[in-house]
Structure 1
Amino acid sequence: MPPAPTRHWLLKSEPDVFSYADLVRAGREPWNGVRNYQARNFLRQMRPGDLCLFYHSGVKPPGLAGVGRVARAAYPDDLQFDPESAHFDPRSDPADPRWSMVDVVPVRAFPRLLTLDELRALPEWEGSPLLRRGTRLSVLPVSAEQIRAALGEVGLDLGTL
């Protein structure tokens, strides 16, 4: 059976909480603390090798800062069981965890921030949930066309990642 094709994702983070530069410094990081069921379900679909666009939100201007890769498939988010964590969920059962996380590694920083306004101008991104007002998901699927277009805008090529 041939390997499944690589999927592409967008991961949002506020850079004052965790930036792409932080991912580079860490080398590998769990993408934890996600407490939205749809975003959690996307995390559960991720496989090692999938590429992730790293999006800085909550700043002016928001935009794409780099590319990461899923290094470990979804597993139980340990923060859901830590009463000291802001992401603690007292209703989550260790025998049937409610929340998941994946591990992400950095691949390449963008040479410059690709802003949300620039993404809006790309026809490949038309209809993306990222561009809809009120979309707050921290994990979103991205099409191959969208990732190619974003990379092309900053002079990178999907084939070289």
Structure 2
Amino acid sequence: MTTITTPRLSLTRFVTDDWPFFLRLRQDPQVMRFMGEVLSEEALGDIGLRISPKNPHEADVGYALLPQAQGKGYASEALRAVCEYGFTTLGVQAINAWVLGENRGSSRLLEKQGFVRTQVLEKAYHLNGVDYDDWIYRLEREAHPASADAG
């Protein structure tokens, strides 16, 4: 099983024993509104990178953090590490992310990591009786500092 580590995080694949945490994360209204630390091994959220079924040279990234873990740099750290893994280990050329237009925090996170908003799908996402714009972000391999240094 692949584990990606950063100075503060250990990113691992979900296993069956993680189900209670996954359920708690996904049932939290603040987390799902827009949809652990290494020292204590407390789970803080999830992040996933999936090779696109439409293009094997691209991947899609998604993430969620518990409210108490937000605003502390964990998402930035995890996203940076997962993107580096995608570009250097998996060899993808681009990574895409979809964000609800109302989720300004996630948009800022992606932009700080070098993602560029490439498309706005107006009223494309229906959630809890409300239609939201879906913003599509993209990070090209050449724009990612670690992958550009690697080759």
TM-score by length of 2: 0.26
Higher helix proportion (structure 1 or 2): 2
TM-score by length of 1: 0.25
